[in-house]
Amino acid sequence: MADTEEKGPIGPSLDETRKVLVDIAIESWRFARLFGRVLSKLEAGEAPRFANQLGYFSKSLEENLQAVNLKIVTLEGHPYDPGVAASALNIGDFAADDVLIVDQMVEPIIMSLDGLVRPGTVMLQKVAK
């Protein structure tokens, strides 16, 4: 069995496990952002309880990733630099001399102590002069 030989007798390799963990972290980040948008539509009396649960979830995600030396990085509101570890989906909409900021993170950047694990994806916005 080739699969068993590649993975070893105890299961997936550390690289495979890390990839799965990063995928789960990104999907959790997306879900938390969606949940945050839903919260803004709730009545004032209901929102705080759910906001606290979202805060707990987000903090737990961050702490668990930190325990394995991973970190989610978002750049929303920061100036855009072409050298940043994220691809811009709408970069073609702007001129070379436009001053741009990161308007929205579509997918976060994942970093480790060793450097970049997975680049992010962003949407840009032109800064009004």
CA 121, CA 63: separation in Å to the nearest integer? 23
Q: Could you state, in order of their start, the residue ranges of all structural domains in the chain?
A: 11-68, 71-129
Fold of 71-129: Nucleotide Exchange Factor Grpe; Chain A, domain 2 (2.30.22)
Closest by CA to 119, choosing from 104, 101, 106, 103, is 106
Q: Which residues are CB-neighbours of 18 under 8 A, at least 6 positions away? A: 68, 117
Query: What does the pLDDT profile of the chain (129 residues) look like in tens digits?
Result: 444 445 556 788 888 989 999 999 999 999 999 999 999 998 888 888 899 999 999 999 999 999 999 999 999 999 999 899 999 999 999 998 999 999 999 999 999 999 999 999 999 999 987
Is residue 8 within 8 Å of 16, Cβ to Cβ? no
